[in-house]
Chain A
Amino acid sequence: MFDLAIVGAGPTGGTLALATARLGLSVALIDARNLKKPQPRDTRNFAIVRGSWNLLSFSGLTNALSDHAEPLNGLEAVDDARHWLGAPSALFTGNDLPDTAGEPLLGYMLEAQHLQAAIDAAVTGNEGIERFAPALFTGMEVESGHVTVHLEKGKSLKARLLVGSDGLNSPVRQAAGIRTEGRNYGKSVFAADVTLSRPHEGIARQLFTPEGPFATLPLAGNRANLAWYMKSGAAEALAERPVEEINAELNARFAEFAGEMAIDGPVKAYPLILQVATSMIGERVALIGDAARRMNPLAGQGLNSGFKDVAALAEVCADQVRAGLDPGDALALERYQSWRRPDGLATALGMDLIDRVFSNDNALLKPLRGLALAVADRAPPLRTALARQASAAQGYLPRLMQEPA
C-alpha cells in the first residue's frame, strides 16, 4: 500500500514525488515515458519564481539545475500603441516584493528539458519512490480505505491517494468523473528559442500589440525564449515556414524591441486555452497542475501555480501522516481544495483578464491599458501587487515554498 500513487512524472508530478518522499511518504510514480531515456528538447521554458525555486530546492533538484538556471532580474511591459500618455512601460524587479526587499532576484528561467532531466535523474535514484514507467494508467476503483490503480497489462497497485498530474487531458480526472469548463481564446502562440544580438540583462520583456503580446524570456547564453500571440491559424502557418523567412518576419516586426533575433532550435505553435476542472478533488483523488487548470501562459504563472498545488498537497498529506491519519481522507482533500482552488482560479482568471485588456484593438481599451501601465509604473502599491501576482507570494504560501530560515 502506497501513501500516494502519482500519475505523470512531469514537472509537477515528479516534484510532488520527490517532496513527499523526502517528507517520509511512500510513493508510486507512474508515467508513460521511459524515465531513463532523455526527453527531447522542446520550446517550453519556465519562469520559476522564488517560492517555486524553494520547493525545487527542498525536493533536491536545485544543485542539478543551477548550471542551467538563468537569473530573472525583472519583468518589463511595454505598450506598442502611441497615445496621449506616450509609450508607457513598467518594470518590476524583486525590490517590488515586500518580503524580498534588497534581494533583486524574481526567480530563474529554466528550459523544460533541463528541469525534466533533473527530475528524471532524481526520481530514478530515490529509494522512497517506486517507479512504474513506462506504464499507462488505465483506470481506478475506490475501495474501503484505499484506491486501486489499474495499469496496462493487468497490473495494479493500491494507494491511499491517487494524484493526477497528467496534464490538460488528464486520464485520472476523466476516470474520477471530474468535468472541466473553460474557453478557447481563438488564438495561438508561436514559440521558439532565439539567439539575441544584444544582452537581455535577465529581464523578461513583453510588448503588447493589438494582436496580442510578444514576449521574450531570458535564457542562458544570451538567448531568449519568445512567445508571439497570434490569431488561430496564423501562428501555425508561421511555424511551417522556412527558418530564414521566420527570422526575417521576426526582425522586421520586433528587432527594435528585442534586438536582432535568430531562431535556435525547434519552433512550435500551440492553441491558447483556459480550462479549469470543476473540482480539484474526488474520492481519494487529487488533481494538480494542468490537470486542474490550464491558463493563459501570459505571465508564466501556469507552472508556478502548479508548484503551489504540489507544495500545498505535500503539506496536507504530510500533516495527515504525522498525526497518524490517512493522507487520502476526505477532510484532508477538502483542505487541499479550499486552499488551492480559489487562488488557482484567481490566477487563471487574472491572466485571462490581463489578456483581454492588453490583446485588444478596441479603441476604448487602448487608453486603458496604457493607463494601467503608466499607473503601475508610478504607484508603488500597485507595482507591488502586480509583482506579487507574478511571483508566488500571493495567498497563504505553503511551508515548502517559504524562504528557508
Chain B
Amino acid sequence: MGQTATPHLHRPSLDPDEVAKFTAMADAWWDPKGKFRPLHKFNPVRLNYIRQAAVAHFGLDDTARQPLRGLTLLDIGCGGGLVSEPMTRLGATVTGVDASEANIKTALTHAEQSGLEIDYRAGTAEELIEAGEGPYDIVLNLEVVEHVADPGAFLTDTAGLVAPGGMMLVATLNKTPKAFALAVVGAEYVLGWLPRGTHDWSKFLKPDTVTDALASAGLSPEPPQGISYSPISDSWRLSGDTGVNYMVLARRDK
C-alpha cells in the first residue's frame, strides 16, 4: 500500500536509491523457483484461455505472433506483471493497475529489463474510472474480486471499463467446501504455496454471484469455465469442474 491513507492514481517513478530494492523484488516475483512458483505454474493455462477467448471474440489471426495488436487491455491487480508482460508480447497495448505502489515499482523494473512498454499505474480500478480513463477492449479481473470489500460494486464498476464490443475476464475462487479445503487449507497450510491469510474463504464468490453482477452491469456473461490442478502432472488444466478455480468471460455489445 502507498504511504498516504487515500492512495491516488499515479505513475510512480523509481528513485535511484530504490532501484536495488525493486530489482530484488522483481527477481523474487519472476523467479519460477521462488515463492511465486505456484503463480508461474498457474499462469500458462489462463494466458492461453485469454488468448483463445480474445482471438474468438474479436475474430483475430490465431497464427500471428501478436494477434492482440491494436487492442487495449487493462490488467486489474497486475502485481509484478506476470500477465501484463505476456499480453504485451501478444501485441496488446497494456495498462496495469495495482493498489500497491511497491508492486507497480517492481513491475516497472521488470518490464524495463524485458524491454516491454507497459503503462503501469499505482491506484485502484475505481480511481481509473474517476480519472476518466478507459474504456478498454479487454479488461482482466484476475484473482482480485475475492480480495475486495464489496465484490458486487467492484464488478459493476469495472464492467463500466469495458469498451462497446469488448470483453472482460473474471477469475476467482468458488465458495465451496472444496475450495476451502484446497485453496485455503491445502495451498496455504499444507503445501505452503501461498502465505497464510492470503485468502478469506468467506469472501469467495459463487459463479452465479459473478455472472449476475456482470449481467446487471450490462455485460453478457458466459457459463463459468473451471480450472483444475492435476497433482500427477503438477500442472493446471481447463476442466469442467468449477468447484475451486473458475473464470467467467463476459462480452459487451457494440
Please report A residues at the B interface, Cβ cutoff 8 Å: 1, 24, 144-145, 319-325, 329-331, 334
Contact = CB atoms under 8 A, between A and B. Distances in A.
Contacts of B89: 324-325
Nearest to B82: A325
Interface in B4-62: 32-33, 40-41, 43-44, 47-48, 51
Contact of B48 (A322, A330, A334): A322
Contact of A323 (B32, B44, B63): B44
Main secondary structure of the interface of B (DSSP, over half): helix
Given A24-B63, A144-B113, A325 B32 contact: no
B3 interface: no
A324 B41 contact: no
B51 A331 contact: no
Given A322-B48, A325-B47, A331 B65 contact: no
Contacts of B146: none
A330 B44 CA distance: 13
A324 B64 CA distance: 12
Contacts of B184: none
30 contacts: A1-B115, A24-B63, A24-B65, A144-B113, A145-B113, A319-B44, A322-B48, A322-B51, A323-B43, A323-B44, A323-B47, A323-B48, A323-B86, A324-B47, A324-B51, A324-B85, A324-B86, A324-B88, A324-B90, A325-B43, A325-B44, A325-B47, A325-B86, A325-B89, A330-B32, A330-B33, A331-B32, A331-B40, A331-B41, A334-B32
Contacts, number: 38
Given A324-B51, A325-B44, 10 more contacts: A145-B113, A323-B44, A323-B51, A323-B86, A324-B85, A324-B86, A329-B32, A331-B32, A331-B40, A334-B32
Interface in B83-116: 85-90, 113-115
Interface string B205-228: 000000000000000000000000
Interface of B: 32-33, 40-41, 43-44, 47-48, 51, 63, 65, 85-90, 113-115
Contacts of A24: 63, 65
A1 B65 CA distance: 15
Nearest to B89: A324
9 nearest A-B pairs in the assembled complex, by CB-CB distance: A324-B86, A323-B47, A324-B89, A324-B90, A331-B32, A330-B32, A144-B113, A323-B44, A323-B48
**Chain B CB within 10 Å, residue with most, of A1, A319, A325, A330:** A325
